[in-house]
Amino acid sequence: MSQEKKKTKSAGAGMYLSMELGNSLSIKTEGMEDNFESVLVGLAPPAYLVVQLPLIASWERHFGAGNRVYVRYSCLGNSCEFRSKVLGSIVKPFRLLFLSCPEEVESFGSRKNLRLCCHIPAVATFEGREVKGVISVISPDGCKFNIKVPPGLQPLRVHVVDNIRLSFTLLGVEGVQHFQGKVRNTSQDRSRIALGIEFEDVDDNIVDQITSQIEGQQ
């Protein structure tokens, strides 16, 4: 399937990066031949991102304040890329690199993997209970579903490949739609859980409707 390249303004310098803590990042700086692998450990858009500083020789030269870096990461099947600048770094008590939030992000993906930032109230059914939340990113293949941690729910019990059912209304489609899926990844903090969900056996008409809505916002 052919690849499409899109540039997306980040609307407030970093508000719509679709990144979660723990995201794997591939980073390259000017003057370096190879990329190095890192992890996103903090973000405060639109001010900065925080990533792990790699254990490489002469890192001060490559990651000095003001140096330009190129960052790539994956989101919902797409490869995303942006340019940033080094704001600073620390080595104690942990080796951390501070980067500026980008003004735009390039997305490389197929039409199948187009995605849309959104705010769709939804109800998830898993582990024998219903939980209300919000879909923040949707694609024909899946979505990112965010819930507040309710009393009695143990976040660590939401494992990868757990079955889940999402129910929500879709613009242009009458009635509440039900989507069966699997949880492919999770991230959490003290008050929120974000679930990356892959849809299963979605009706072609619903796929076309989601795709049409996404393309209308590009």
Contact assessment for residue 206 and residue 169, using Cβ atoms and an 8 Å cutoff: no
| Overall domain count for the chain | 2
119 shares its domain with 198? yes
165 shares its domain with 69? no
107 shares its domain with 8? yes
CATH number for the domain including 90? 2.30.110.10
190 shares its domain with 108? no
Out of 9-13, 35-39, 129-133, pick the least confident. Answer: 9-13
| Residue where a domain stops, chosen among 112, 131, 161 | 112
- Candidates 54, 80, 82, 50; CA nearest to 69 is 82
- The CA distance from 187 to 146, in Å, is 10
124 shares its domain with 199? yes
156 shares its domain with 166? yes
The per-residue DSSP string of 104-166 comes to: EEEEEE-GGG--EEEEEEEEEEETTEEEEEEEEEE-SSEEEEEEE--TT--GGG--TT-EEEE
Q: How far is residue 208 CA from its own chain's centroid?
A: 23
| Residue where a domain stops, chosen among 43, 77, 112 | 112
With a pLDDT cut of 90, the percent of the chain lying above it is 19
pLDDT of residue 57: 64
pLDDT for residue 216 is more than 80: no
Find the domain containing 13 and state its range: 4-112
122 shares its domain with 189? yes
61 shares its domain with 153? no
33 shares its domain with 91? yes
106 shares its domain with 124? no
Half-sphere exposure (Cβ direction) of 182: Cα atoms closer than 13 Å: 6
- Candidates 183, 174, 110; CA nearest to 143 is 183
CATH number for the domain including 213? 2.40.10.220
pLDDT of residue 135: 92
105 shares its domain with 121? no
pLDDT in tens, 69-126: 999 887 655 678 899 999 998 888 888 999 998 888 887 654 455 778 888 999 999 8
Higher per-residue confidence, 197 vs 186? 197
pLDDT of residue 28: 86
| Residue where a domain stops, chosen among 92, 112, 132 | 112
pLDDT for residue 9 is more than 50: no
Phi/psi for 207 (5° steps) reads -60, -45
The pair of structure tokens assigned to 143 is 């979505």
The per-residue DSSP string of 48-63 comes to: EEEEEPP--TTHHHHT
